[in-house]
Chain A
């Protein structure tokens, strides 16, 4: 192997890479929050009695789950241009990731609600709780419990997939790495550093979710 690894440019760029990692986190959190909200709406829409609510929601969920995320990012970034709708890299990537997350979370929420037997709601109502009380105190905590781990997996997955922002001109961690790569041609060194940062972020998020989950659901059976 006739190659001298040169790590100095990577060390010099670490502050910029760290800042870009924050952009990655920001993009992921924003996409995740929007995706969760939309996913919940989609889940309700799919359970609705109205065809006009059920049908578009199902199309959304199936398209989100059955096409590549990169394809979805490209549709938001380039595909909408034909209609005169030009989104910035940031908005396009966040929209695509939120669109995708909503599709996956709608299914997860459906499973979560299905895990709470309807008799529990009836029992709570017959104990004198109002509909809102019964949902807030009996149903929702159990749903959160059921979707917690799939949700954290989805979040890690969103963080990893936000790296595709690089291909749509977004300067998050991967995009910033690519920028430094284009200036120094130290491809391996820079992307190795990016890989380490992604790994650390993923592990920290997982650990945090474990700890929060453990605190929230202490003493509850799975």
Chain B
């Protein structure tokens, strides 16, 4: 490759990729934690609120599931900029990804609470438990079992969807690989590395989720 403007893939590049991979993990983990907490709260609202609260909450959450995540990211990023509070791509990305995660988790959480069933809740109330005790000692442990595998699925999809944050300029794993592509022109090798990284995170966890689901169904 003498005289070429491209340079071969070296260890510095691999380090650059590794750093970007850490950023992918970081933004995903934050979004999953914040989104799940918010999502459980929203799911409880959906399952237990009055009809007006339920209807408006599910209507709003539905928007996040019916508009492409890419558009949501660009919209939020440009909105905070024109509102006079421009944010770093990391923060606007984290916020959008968290809210998106919350919208998905809310559906899972609602299903979990509804799976427990009204009779069970009434039974525990008539045993003298308060509403919060019922939630804490009856609905939470039973509901969690039924929907935990779905929650794993949602979390993994957030890890994969975090790749879209690259569109607003955050250099995570996929964006880093593209930068190296243009620099080294060894696109396939780099892509294989990047794909392997996502796969090694996602595949074992999804298999674990499947196993749990099968075991708990018995």
Contacts and interface: CB of A to CB of B under 8 A. Distances in A.
Interface of A: 1-3, 62-63, 65-71, 74-75, 78-83, 156, 160-161, 163-164, 166-167, 174, 187-188, 191-192, 194-195, 198-199, 202-203
A66 B84 contact: no
Interface string B83-96: 11000000000000
Nearest to A82: B188
Contact of A188 (B82, B199, B206): B82
Interface stretch (B1-9, B65-73, B127-135, B139-147): B65-73
Contacts of A167: 70, 167
Q: Which 7 A-B pairs have the closest CB atoms?
A: A163-B68, A66-B202, A187-B78, A202-B66, A68-B160, A68-B163, A82-B188
A195 B78 contact: no
Nearest to A159: B68
A68 B74 contact: no
Query: For A63, A71, A167, which residue has the most chain B Cβ atoms within 10 angstroms?
Result: A71
Contacts of A191: 71, 74-75, 78
A75 B82 CA distance: 35
Contacts of B70: 163-164, 166-167, 174
A71 B174 contact: yes
Interface footprint category on B: 35 or more
Contacts, number: 108
B37 interface: no
A75 B67 contact: no
Given A70-B164, A75-B195, A191-B71, A199 B82 contact: no
A78 B185 CA distance: 10
A75 B67 CA distance: 25
B198 A66 contact: yes
B195 A67 contact: yes
Interface string B195-210: 1001100110010000
Contacts of A174: 68, 70-71
B194 interface: yes
The main secondary structure of chain B at its interface with chain A is helix
B120 interface: no
Contacts of B166: 70
Interface string B46-82: 0000000000000000010011111110110011001
The main secondary structure of chain A at its interface with chain B is helix
Interface of B: 63, 66-72, 74-75, 78-79, 82-84, 156, 160-161, 163-164, 166-167, 174, 177-178, 181, 185-189, 191, 194-195, 198-199, 202-203, 206
Contacts of B203: 62, 66
Contacts of B67: 160, 195, 198-199, 202
Given A78-B181, A191-B74, A68 B174 contact: yes
Query: For A78, A80, A191, which residue has the most chain B Cβ atoms within 10 angstroms?
Result: A191
A167 B174 CA distance: 12
Nearest to A63: B199
A198 B66 contact: yes
Given A160-B66, A164-B68, A195-B75, 9 more contacts: A3-B84, A68-B198, A70-B166, A70-B174, A71-B191, A160-B67, A166-B70, A191-B75, A202-B67
Nearest to B203: A66
Contacts of A1: 82-84
B163 A71 contact: yes
Contacts of B185: 82
A160 to B, nearest CB: 4
Query: For A3, A74, A161, which residue has the most chain B Cβ atoms within 10 angstroms?
Result: A74
A195 B163 CA distance: 20
Contacts of B206: 65-66
Contacts of B178: 74, 78
Contact of B72 (A67, A195, A202, A203): A195
Contacts of A164: 68, 70, 164
B68 A2 contact: no
B83 A3 contact: yes
Contacts of A68: 160-161, 163-164, 174, 198
